[in-house]
Amino acid sequence: MKTNITIAIRLSIICLFIFAVLYPFAIWALAQTQAYKGKGKMIEAAGKSYYYHIGQAFEGDQYFQSRPSAVGYNAAGSGASNKGPSNEVYLKEVAARIDTFLINNPTVKREQVPVDLVTASGSGLDPHCSLQAAYVQAARIAELRGLSVQQVNNLIADNKEPALWGLFGPEKIHVLKLNLALDDLANQLGGKHGN
């Protein structure tokens, strides 16, 4: 019995050292070799700083909307709602999101609403949306910004990101980058700015 306790204590100390000291140090050291030193990639625009890899909330219908977030886009509390597709409360939340989207986008039919505009991602922090989610918002944004739908669609096409290594996953749009490019386009063409 005494031998087992001694082995258990030794193993606990070794695991504590590996997982609480060695592993975090190795990850920290690896992060220091990267461009942003493990602090996350930042985008600077109009005197503001934004985290590149964290979804953002955009106020106003003149902006492309991100995926909903179950955690209010708070990176300190990343996570999903954990409600399944048969949960009545969850279904009501999704139905309310669809109704709100249709009110704000009167040219869109219910069956055209992309799923990623009414359901949150697993992390609640996804900075991307599908191309379909961007294109379906083009008419609303064009009207509010004083732009043509073609100009907005061209902006989407210019900002789409390819699948990973050209093989894995679909093409997508980084919503923050797209909204910043939208502000730039509106400024260049004398359209209405978002703020």
Residue 142 CA to residue 148 CA, distance in Å, equals 5
The overall pTM is greater than 0.85 = no
Beta carbons within 8 Å of 103's beta carbon, 6+ residues apart: none
Task: Give the pLDDT of residue 2.
Answer: 75
Per-residue pLDDT reduced to its tens digit, 120-139: 888 888 899 999 999 999 99
Does residue 55 contact residue 127 with C-beta atoms inside 8 Å?
A: yes
In the chain, the percentage of residues whose pLDDT exceeds 90 is 53
- Boundaries of every domain in the chain: 1-38, 40-189
DSSP assignment of 109-150 equals -GGGS-GGGTS--SSS---EEEHHHHHTTHHHHHHHHT--HH
SS3 184: helix
SS3 83: coil
Residue 53 CA to residue 182 CA, distance in Å, equals 19
**Nearest-CA neighbor of 120 among 46, 177, 65, 69?**
69
Which of 30-34, 88-92, 137-141 reaches the highest mean pLDDT?
137-141
- Name the average pLDDT for the chain: 88
Gyration radius of the chain over CA positions: 22
